[in-house]
Amino acid sequence: MKLAYALAATALGFALSSCAGGAESPNPQDAFFSNLTALCGQRFEGRVVTTDPADADFANKRLLMHVRDCSDGEIRIPFAVGDDRSRTWVVTRGDVGLRLKHDHRHEDGTTDVLHWYGGDTVNEGTAERQEFPVDAESIALFNANNATVSTTNTWAIEVHPHETFAYELRRPKRHFRVEFDLTKPVAS
């Protein structure tokens, strides 16, 4: 019996000492936001890596993203498809996670009918990948504008430091992914 108590006390002591001495692991969302922030001010060229015929128009144009307008709580990433500069990805920190919204505008700066859609993270994700399932506000927007196919969207952003940035859209029967080479920043 004494041996059992001694073993239990030793195990408890070891567990407590390893907790007290170890550093707290970083929050994956904070690390992800930091990885994204490290790109601020830089532009990168990308390419479509999926083969869906719906992506042919994007695949045949120059794709350019510019990580800019960075603060502690928000990062804006304009995404140009050829001469079309109507899209901006907006990543913000919330009280319980990260949010991705799509700022879509017309050439004159007015908002598109499909504007400010996106979603919030539902788990920690990783320092390199965050997923954003469609939120209720976006579902209502899509339903109101005859875009019901988008009501099951999940978007993802990946940042593999010094390697690749990826933007992805998934839903049943649809997968779009564009990757940007972080080893070759594009001059302004």
172 phi/psi in degrees, rounded to 5? -55, 130
Rounded to two decimals, what is the model's pTM? 0.86
Alpha-carbon Rg for the chain, nearest whole angstrom, is 21
Q: What pLDDT shows up at residue 51?
A: 94
Which helix (H) or strand (E) segment holds residue 2: the answer is: helix 2-21
Domain annotation for the chain: domains and CATH numbers: 27-186 (2.40.128)
pLDDT greater than 80 at residue 10: no
Across the range 126-141, mean pLDDT stands at 98
Residue among 48, 77, 49, 82 at smallest CA distance from 65: 77
pLDDT band at 15 (very low <50, low <70, confident <90, very high): very low
Burial class (CB in 10 A: 0-12, 13-18, 19+), 16: exposed
Question: How do residues 92-114 score in pLDDT, each as one tens digit?
Answer: 999 889 999 999 999 898 999 99
In angstroms, rounded to a whole number, what is the distance separating the alpha carbons of residues 5 and 11? 10
In angstroms, rounded to a whole number, what is the distance separating the alpha carbons of residues 116 and 100? 9
* 171 CB neighbour count, 10 Å cutoff: 15
Question: How do residues 18-72 score in pLDDT, each as one tens digit?
Answer: 444 456 678 999 999 999 999 999 999 999 999 999 999 899 999 999 999 999 9
Question: How do residues 150-184 score in pLDDT, each as one tens digit?
Answer: 999 999 999 999 999 999 999 999 999 999 999 99
Phi-psi region of 95 (alpha: psi -120 to 50; beta: other; left: phi over 0): alpha
Least confident of 54-58, 87-91, 117-121, 124-128: 54-58
Tokens of 94: 């919330």
- What is the signed CA dihedral for 49, 58, 64, 73, rounded to 10 degrees? -80
Q: What pLDDT shows up at residue 95?
A: 87
28 and 121 Cβ atoms separated by less than 8 Å: no
